[in-house]
Structure 1
Amino acid sequence: MSGFAYVVHDGKVESPPLKQALGFRAGLVWIHLTTNDARAKAWLGGEAGLSPYVIEALTAAETRPRCDPFGEGAVINLRGLSSDELAASDLLASIRIYAHDGCVFSVTRKALNALQPVRARVEAGKILDPGDLIAALALAITEELDPVVADLGDSLDDCEEQIAARHAFELRRMVNRVRSQAIGFRRFLNPQRAALEKLAAMPSDWLAEDDRLHLSAAADRAARMAEELESIRERAALTHETLTDLRSEQIDQRSLIIAVVAMVFLPLTFITGLLGMNVAGIPFAHEPWAFWGVFWFCVVIAVVIAAYFVRRHWFER
């Protein structure tokens, strides 16, 4: 188990050890743990003295974004990008927060990219209370996610442009990747928007009016990204269908060419097989022009058959 703590009081910022931070009474005491084992539960229940409900919410293995009032505070779960390797079905790392007047406990199991800029703001003295901290975390998460969602849309735009050039086979994997990522992000952004909206509307003394405005802004941004991801998901599905149709069309076209070639050579094979029999009595077998006669006869038959297929528009797409 590892972590850090900050104490902000009268504009001054300190970073004491975790155990010492518990004894401070200040404008903001932020205690953060990074763990995936049982030691966090023991520390939060023992030295921190948190209730079993809060401990379970902070250390649960699986979480979705949410906001639930608890006593004078609230339990908040948010999701953001991580530098750690994550499962394909779980593209965002979680941060679990318990906040009340003057104090914030947070826990992560995977590295959360948004933590670093928020820590920098705390150290610069720009975050003074729990409302500022949660709003800063929400804004940092959405600001980092925004260009990622935009890149997904750009990737899909590139795929749609290349469809016109009929590069169907090369695009299927890219479209599937974009669609999978969009589904993974959207899975958490919708409940995260709802959690931020609920927190912004929650009647709490430790949330100032500007904190509520920042939370509402983060919720609006999450809602916009969720709508964009839904659009990307639908466009990816349509693009995938188009690629499947193009692939079927290409296969049909190639099968048609093979069938036409087989139809052209079928009578020629019959003629050459018939004349190639090693029996007596084949007409003109000893004439000097016999070979070229058969050759040009086969050419004429092949041209007639090909002309028939062209006239019937078999080669048209």
Structure 2
Amino acid sequence: MSGYAWRITAEGKAEQVPVAGALTCGAPFVWVHLTTNADHAQTWLRDEAQLPAYVVDALTAGETRPRCEKMGDSAFVNLRGRTDEEVGSSDVLASIRIWAAKGRVVSVTRKHLVAMGDVVAEMKAGELRDPGDLIAAFATAITEDLDPVVADLGDWLDDCEQGLRTDRVFELRRGVTKVRSEAITYRRFLNPQRTALERLAALPGDWLADDDRAHLAAAADRAARMAEEVEAIRERAALMHEALTDLRAEQLDQRSLVIAIVAMVFLPLTFITGLYGMNVKGLPYADEPWAFDAVMGMCAAVAAGVTIYFLRRHWFRG
């Protein structure tokens, strides 16, 4: 098991302390963070932190979704944020599980969160003085980290719409499919995350100050805006995919039309050459020296006539 612990002293200074014994050090505020597997975390949470079994199960659950639950005088919060470690294609966000009570916070992650560095920096600077400050910092850092990622998805679709050409159909279709998949995945977690933050901001308890509730509400609003944006991106990606499909179908129709016209031009020529290619007696002018030139001239005249007909009918324009 690995992790670290921070405490805020009575003088308001932040100090990093060993995980062992951190919750019983008597400091006004202590934060213990564990980066571990479920078995080791359960042992520490049960034996040293002495948390109830239902809290231990929530902190070490394998499958999680963003949520918030009141547990007596404490609260459990599950949030999702970006990670720089390898993740599955259907689960691109890593979870952080937080148990908070007055003066104490225990958090557990299995994968490193990108937003963790900002939160630790604020803690080191002594800016986080209670559980409400810490959870609000997590919510703000996670949403600020996700915001430019969601914006990049929209910008990529803008570039696709401006560069929509027949010679880029396959390239754009692969990119649009990827953007749509990512938007669906982000939407899957952003909506419940917004609900969790809103519920946390409304929880009763003196360990959440008014400014903490305001920060949580702002993070919930930002999560709601991102959820709406990824929904718009998903719909735009679907429309873009349909447009690319139509463009590809139009491209195939144009090529099929060209093939059909070429076949129509050569069809009468094939008939003439096939007729004069028969090895039978009685073909007109078969023994004349100018017969070959006459047949070639007739073929050229027929081909020109068919081509002129198609040009006047504007078939070459589709």
Q: Report the alpha carbon displacement of residue 28 of structure 1 after superposing the two structures with TM.
A: 1.7
1:13 offset after TM fit, Å? 1.6
Residue 312 of structure 1: how far off its partner (Å):
3.1
Matched, 1:181 2:208: no
How far, CA to CA, are the matches of 1:133 and 1:169 in structure 2? 46
Report % sequence identity.
63
CA-atom RMSD in angstroms? 1.3
Q: Please say if 1:192 is aligned against 2:193.
A: yes
**Using the alignment, how far apart are the partners of 2:272 and 2:166 within structure 1?**
43
Contact 2:166 2:248 in 1 (8 A): no
Which residue in 2 is equivalent to 1:110? 111
**Shift, 1:52, TM fit:** 1.0
TM-superposed CA distance for 1:19, in Å, is 1.2
Q: CA shift at 1:165, angstroms?
A: 6.3
* Deviation, structure 1 residue 280: 3.0
Does residue 288 of the first structure (1) align with residue 289 of the second (2)?
yes
- More divergent stretch after superposition (192-201 vs 158-167): 158-167
| Code of the aligned partner of 2:202 | A
Residue aligning to 1:160: 161
- Maintained 8 Å contact 1:3/1:18: yes
d(CA) in 2 for partners of 1:272 and 1:60? 79
Matches within 5 A, 1:140-151: 140-151=141-152
Q: Aligned to 1:19, what secondary structure does the other structure show?
A: coil
* Structure 2 SS opposite 1:22: helix
Distance (whole Å) between structure 2 residues aligned to residue 143 and residue 77 of structure 1: 17
Structure 2: state its 5+ residue gaps: none
1:166·1:246 contact (CA, 8 Å) conserved in 2?
no
1:300 matched residue in structure 2: 301
Kindly state the Cα deviation for residue 277 of structure 1 after the two structures are TM-superposed.
2.1
Rounded Cα–Cα distance in structure 2 between residues aligned with 1:273 and 1:88: 60
Query: Which runs of structure 2 are paired with 1:79-228 in the superposition (5 Å)?
Result: 79-163=80-164, 167-228=168-229
Measured after TM superposition, the shift of residue 114 of structure 1 is 0.9
How far apart in 2 are the matches of 1:37 and 1:212? 31
| Matched residue, 2:14 | 13
* Match in the other structure for 1:45: 46
Deviations 1:6-47 (A, max 9, x none): 011221222111112021232321011112231111111111
Displacement of 1:67 in angstroms is: 0.7
C-alpha distance in structure 2 between counterparts of 1:53 and 1:303, whole Å:
86
1:153 deviates by 0.2
Query: 1:269 is matched by which residue type in structure 2?
Result: T
Contact 2:190 2:227 in 1 (8 A): yes
Structure 1 residue 122, shift from structure 2 partner: 0.6
Alpha-carbon separation, structure 1, partners of 2:295 and 2:79: 82
Could you give the per-residue CA deviations for residues 134-173 of structure 1, whole angstroms, max 9, x where no partner exists?
A: 0011110011101000000000111111225663222100
CA distance in 1, matches of 2:28, 2:288: 113
Deviating more after overlay: 253-262 vs 86-95: 253-262
Question: Does the CA contact (< 8 Å) of 1:25 and 1:102 recur in 2?
Answer: no
What do residues 167-219 of structure 1 show as CA deviations (whole Å, max 9, x unaligned)?
A: 32221000001101111111101110111111111111001111111111111
Between the aligned partners of 2:28 and 2:277, the Cα distance in structure 1 is 103
Regions of 4+ moved over 6 Å: none
Q: CA separation in 1, counterparts of 2:200 and 2:26? A: 24
Amino acid at match of 2:200: L
- Cα distance in 2 for partners of 1:13, 1:164 equals 57
Contact 1:67 1:199 in 2 (8 A): yes
In the superposition, the TM-score normalised over structure 1's length comes to: 0.97
Contact 2:201 2:216 in 1 (8 A): yes
CA apart distance, 1:76: 0.2
CA contact (8 A) 2:197 2:220 kept: yes
The match for 2:68 is 67
CA distance in 1 between counterparts of 2:175 and 2:79 reads 28
SS at match of 2:17: coil
Say whether the 8 Å CA contact 2:166–2:251 is kept in structure 1.
Answer: no
Count of residue correspondences:
317
- Name the structure 2 match of 1:267: 268
1:231: which partner in 2?
A: 232
SS of residue paired to 1:79 = strand
TM-score calculated relative to the size of structure 2? 0.96
Structure 1: distance between partners of 2:38 and 2:12? 35
Distance in 2 of aligned mates of 1:99 and 1:305: 83
Instruction: Determine if contact 1:76/1:195 at 8 Å carries over to the other structure.
Output: yes
Give, in whole Å, the separation in 2 of the partners of 1:75 and 1:203.
Answer: 13
